[in-house]
Amino acid sequence: MNARQWARAVRWYLRELTGEADYDRHCERHRRHHPLAPVPTRREYEVQRTRHRETHPQGRCC
């Protein structure tokens, strides 16, 4: 792999690990299931995601 591919791979990994890429997937999924409804904006999606996170705490180990 050359430097550019490495950079892309690292960026891909970080975006996946942090959940930043979730929005893209969500939109894609949304279009598939509700082709006529407008896709939520990033802001709307993040609000939704935060609300979910609020009630689903994830434990961190020692």
Partner 1 sequence: MPTSVLPETGPEVPEKSRMRSIVLWTTVALLGAVAWGVLALARGEEISAIWLVVAALGSYAIAYRFYSRFIARRVLKPDDRRATPAERLDDGVDFQPTDRRVLLGHHFAAIAGAGPLVGPVLAAQMGYLPGTLWIVAGVIFAGAVQDMVVLFLSMRRDGKSLGQMARDEIGRAGGGAALIAVFTIMIILLGVLALVVVNALAHSPWGTFSVAMTVPIALFMGFWMHRIRPGRVVETSLIGVALLLLAIAGGGWVQNSSLADTFTLSPTTLVFCLIGYGFVASVLPVWMLLAPRDYLSTFMKIGTIALLAVGVVVAAPVMRADAVSEFATSGAGPVFAGSLFPFLFITIACGALSGFHALVASGTTPKLIQKESQVRMIGYGAMLMESFVAIMALIAAATLEPGLYYAMNAPAGLLGTTAESASHAVAGLGFTITPDQLTQAAKAVEEQTLIARSGGAPTLAVGMSEIFSGIFGGTAMKAFWYHFAIMFEALFILTTVDAGTRVGRFMLQDMLGNVWKPIGRVNWKPGIWLCSGLVVAAWGYFLYTGATDPLGGINQLFPLFGIANQLLAAIALTVCTTILVKSGRLRWAWVTGAPLVWVVAVTFTAGWQKVFSDDPKVGFFAQRARYADALDAGQVLPPAKTLDDMHTVVTNSTVDGVLITLFLLLVTVVIVNAAVVCVRAVRSRSPLPTTETPYVESRIDMPEQADEPLAGARL
Amino acid at position 41, single letter: T
Asked if 21 interacts with partner 1 (CB under 8 A), we say: yes
Residue 2 beta carbon to partner 1: minimum distance, rounded to whole angstroms: 12
Among 2, 3, 37, 52, binds partner 1 (CB under 8 A): 52
Amino acid at position 21, single letter: A
Report the distance separating Cα 33 and Cα 38, nearest Å.
11
Query: Residues binding partner 1: what is the number (CB under 8 A)?
Result: 38
- The two structure tokens encoding residue 59: 């434990």
Residue 18 · residue 37 · CB < 8 Å: no
Residues that bind partner 1 (CB under 8 A): 5, 8-9, 11-26, 28-29, 42-43, 45-46, 49-50, 52-62
